[in-house]
Amino acid sequence: MKGALIGCGFFAQNQMHGWTGIEGVKIVAVCDRDPARRDETAARFDARPYAEAAEMLAAEDLDFVDIATTVASHRPLVELAARAGVHVICQKPFAETMEDARAMVAAVDASGKTLMVHENFRWQSAVRAAIDAVRGGVIGTPFFGRVSFRSGYDVFSGQPYLATDPRFIIQDLGIHILDVARALFGDVATLSATTRRINPAIRGEDVATMLLEHTSGVTSVVDCSYATRRQPETFPETLLEIDGDRGTLRLDAGYRLVIQTEGEQVRDVAPPVLPWAERPWHNIQESVQIIQAHFVDCMRAGVQPETSGHDNLKTLALVEAAYRSAADRSRIGMQAPE
């Protein structure tokens, strides 16, 4: 498969490294309006550089594009790729509004191609070990879950827009752990949320606490914070606590998976540090390559990826609901997004 990357910024470097490990895939072209980023990435990964996505799509014979720009450009770029008739991967947050997201899904549907949102947290190997155990019925039928991400890590130096965007933690990070809650417990019936800004130097909220009632009967608490100074610093680990009618599961700090049923089973589910990866990001970096491999497997098998555009509408709807609930203190009933 021949692919092209759009957006050669901070996170795209992980995506480019990830693709080098996927057999049968080559990123032949990259595109960025910033000449330095474009040329460095093209040289590092032996790809042809372009300043404009439209120019690249016209010149190259591609199977797919991998969009790694920030959210404001996602809709025009996804629609451009749909018009060019290629499969599309788009980074999270997929869209700024539900209206944009629905239009993007419809555009790729109309082209007959596949759209996957790069929603990678559910593919982190430690998180996936927990998802597999829960889906496999190891702790019976779950009735309570906590999906938690609390950190004081400085994410602003690598991603300065996170400090200036009006929306911060739910749109940037909460979106991932809301998606993990969906992967663990299924669709959501109601959601309520509170938010706070603790760090006075940023514009958006850096703490959010969400209460979800799932249609499966599970109640989950999904909480995230970038204002939590504690040791050990767990960035970027998602911690889990799940109660089922036959036992409990915890994903504790340090990638320790604890399952208590008749007895106790403790597994080290720490991700490998891939040759191009670095701590503490190795967890996220490995999941990039795993979701890319999933995309390629799905393309070869002719099936939809787990985090297809259609699927991601449900995660995005939870983000929107959380902001609405926090603003007016309401409890939001979730409707099917389509």
Binding site residues, ligand NAD, CB under 6 A: 6-12, 31-34, 37, 53, 68-71, 73, 77, 91-92, 118, 120, 159, 172, 284
Q: Which residues pair with 65 in a beta bridge?
A: 4, 88
In angstroms, the CA 318 to CA 193 distance is 10
**Residue 320 CB, nearest distance to ligand NAD (Å)?**
16
C-alpha 31/C-alpha 46 separation (Å) is 13
Contact status, residue 8 vs residue 37, Cβ threshold 8 Å:
yes
Choose the contact partner of 91 out of ligand 89Y, ligand NAD, none; CB within 5 to 8 A by kind: ligand NAD
H or E segment at 28?
A: strand 26-31
The entry of ligand 89Y, ligand NAD, none near residue 193 (CB within 5 to 8 angstroms by kind) is: none
6 interface partner picked from ligand NAD, ligand 89Y, none, CB below 5 to 8 A per type: ligand NAD
Contact 132, 246 (CB under 8 A): no
308: which strand partners? 116
Choosing among ligand 89Y, ligand NAD, none, which partner's interface includes residue 236 (Cβ < 5 to 8 Å by kind)?
Answer: ligand 89Y
Strand partners, 116: 89, 308
Nearer to ligand NAD, 20 or 219 (CB): 20
> In sequence order, what DSSP letters do the residues of 297-325 get, joined into one string?
HHHHHT---TTBHHHHHHHHHHHHHHHHH
H-helix or E-strand containing 333? strand 332-333
Nearest approach, Cβ of 35 to ligand 89Y (angstroms)? 24
155 or 191: CB nearest ligand NAD: 155
- Minimum separation from the CB atom of position 33 to ligand NAD (A): 5
Instruction: Indicate which of ligand NAD, ligand 89Y, none lies near residue 17 (CB less than 5 to 8 Å, by partner kind).
Output: none
- Interface contacts to ligand 89Y, rule CB under 6 A: 155, 159, 172-173, 176, 236, 284
